[in-house]
Structure 1
Amino acid sequence: MNLTNGAELVNNLSTANTFLKRLKGLMFSNSLPAGHGLLIQPCQSIHTFFMKYSIDVLYISKDLEVVGLDETLMPAKVGKLQKRAYSVLELPAGTIRQTETKIGNYITIK
């Protein structure tokens, strides 16, 4: 949930917090349905190689502040390196715009 504006970002969250889960991420998956997301930690940058669809990406600091974002990151691209990020939240494309999430917003993860 975006604490700054009260918007729900995800209602079905998966976590990639081991080397193998971080390595696989969303690669080779067919889609990321609305309301679903993948939290990768620790992580400061991602790629969309071997993906078939675009995603939105939030880069999140240890204190859960959004420190960077990529909207509609297309397949076979590399996201920005965010040195302040501790984790990355991958979301369906369009989620950032729909929830009006901005850099500087704070989120909560339950």
Structure 2
Amino acid sequence: MRLLYNDKEIVLYECKSFFSRLKGFMFTKNIDKALLFDRCNSIHTFFMKENIDVIMCDKDNSILYYYKDLGKNKVILPKKNVRKVFETPSNYFDIEIGKKMIISEN
């Protein structure tokens, strides 16, 4: 899968299993992909090696919240109406609240 926003795209992996959702980008250096957490409305950055961007969307992929360059050991508490959370490399996309993220299957 690929995550697209404006004219940029990145490889996207969906975290479906308990372990993949638990691990996310923990202990990962040189992040070069994005992660999707469906049915999720909060995250933490414990045990992260690098800062990340966190994009929180509703069920239609409209951007509701954006946390740029989020450092390690942070917690984002549950947010109302959030259905999907994308974690991306820090400063990869130039995000605007209200726009949509696009998920491509190819």
In the superposition, the TM-score normalised over structure 2's length comes to 0.86
Structure whose residues are more often helix by fraction: 1
Correspondent of 1:51 among 38, 48, 51: 48
Q: Which runs of 4+ in 1 moved over 6 A?
A: none
Counterparts of 2:31 and 2:76, CA distance in 1: 17
Counterparts of 1:15 and 1:37, CA distance in 2: 9
CA spacing shift, 1:19–1:29, aligned 2, 3 Å: same
1:67·1:82 contact (CA, 8 Å) conserved in 2? Answer: no
Q: Which residue does the alignment assign to 2:20?
A: 21
Report the CA distance between 1:59 and its aligned residue. Answer: 0.2
Listed as ranges, the matches of 1:76-91 within 5 Å are: 76-91=73-88
- Is 1:105 the counterpart of 2:104? The answer is no
CA spacing shift, 1:7–1:81, aligned 2, 3 Å: farther
Counterparts of 1:53 and 1:82, CA distance in 2: 23
Structure whose residues are more often strand by fraction: 2
Unaligned runs of 5+ in 1: none
Listed as ranges, the matches of 1:5-44 within 5 Å are: 6-8=6-8, 10-33=9-32, 36-44=33-41
Between the aligned residues of both structures, percent identity stands at 34
2:50·2:71 contact (CA, 8 Å) conserved in 1? Answer: yes
2:41 counterpart SS class: coil
Report the CA distance between 1:80 and its aligned residue. Answer: 4.6
2:62·2:98 contact (CA, 8 Å) conserved in 1? Answer: yes
1:45·1:82 contact (CA, 8 Å) conserved in 2? Answer: yes
Aligned residues: 101
2:66·2:95 contact (CA, 8 Å) conserved in 1? Answer: no
Let me know the Cα RMSD of the aligned residues.
1.4
